[in-house]
A and B are shown apart, each in its own frame.
Chain A
Amino acid sequence: NAGVMQNPRHLVRRRGQEARLRCSPMKGHSHVYWYRQLPEEGLKFMVYLQKENIIDESGMPKERFSAEFPKEGPSILRIQQVVRGDSAAYFCASSPLVPGTGSNTEAFFGQGTRLTVV
């Protein structure tokens, strides 16, 4: 059972371009979370999705950012018209249940995508 797979591992974009970050959750996991991490900082929640549904996007900027988790295929975090402030590591995590709600509900993280906007 492969872990959470994120790609690309590193992504360089010029200001104004679009960035697409992909996340394939672990097999059998229907809960996907995206977090952003700036250097030397914590993990900031962005969005929580289940298949074909956005459950909570309260941590995601209202403009330029969107996320989806289609019925088939990976979850996608899309950032339009990137700016230098979007440079960060973006982590995806998956869980079979809402994480932290009981034993064996840990979140499994991917290796992250490091976005650099130049």
Chain B
Amino acid sequence: GQSLEQPSEVTAVEGAIVQINCTYQTSGFYGLSWYQQHDGGAPTFLSYNALDGLEETGRFSSFLSRSDSYGYLLLQELQMKDSASYFCAVSTGANNLFFGTGTRLTVIP
């Protein structure tokens, strides 16, 4: 089976940096993805890591350590609009994309 663990909630101040961790246990692994979902909205893709290391896309960065079965999403210069749920997702390459339970980020002034 597959399992992904993320903190359920995180609160951070506007302008700060926040890191959302994800650990996973899967029976196969192709890559770790991150998705953002605002309340009532559709999940949207943020980033993807297949190899160890850091991928940077603007204010968002994502990190992967395959040996540790661990990754994180780093959000810099937080803005109020970043308040949303963030999901890590693992592709086992077999047939589907498994999602974690999500981390609800609240950005406060």
* Residue ranges of A at the interface with B (Cβ–Cβ < 8 Å): 4, 33, 35, 40-45, 48, 55-56, 59, 91, 93, 98-103, 105-112
Contact = CB atoms under 8 A, between A and B. Distances in A.
B7 interface: no
Contacts of B42: 4, 91, 109-112
Contact of A99 (B41, B91, B101, B104): B91
B43 interface: yes
Given A105-B48, A106-B45, 7 more contacts: A41-B102, A56-B95, A98-B93, A99-B33, A100-B30, A100-B32, A109-B42
B89 interface: yes
B31 A100 contact: yes
A109 B33 contact: no
Contact of A100 (B33, B43, B102): B33
Given A43-B87, A102-B30, A107 B94 contact: no
Interface centre among A56, A101, A111, A112 (most CB of B within 10 A): A101
Interface residues of B, number: 27
Given A55-B95, A103-B48, A111 B30 contact: no
Interface string B75-109: 00000000000010111011111111110100000
A41 B48 CA distance: 22
Interface centre among A4, A105, A108 (most CB of B within 10 A): A105
Contacts of A44: 99
B50 interface: yes
B45 A108 contact: yes
B16 to A, nearest CB: 24
Nearest to B103: A42
26 contacts: A4-B42, A33-B96, A33-B97, A40-B104, A41-B101, A43-B87, A44-B99, A45-B96, A45-B99, A55-B95, A56-B94, A59-B96, A91-B43, A98-B91, A98-B93, A99-B33, A100-B31, A100-B32, A101-B30, A101-B93, A102-B31, A102-B50, A105-B91, A107-B33, A107-B45, A111-B41
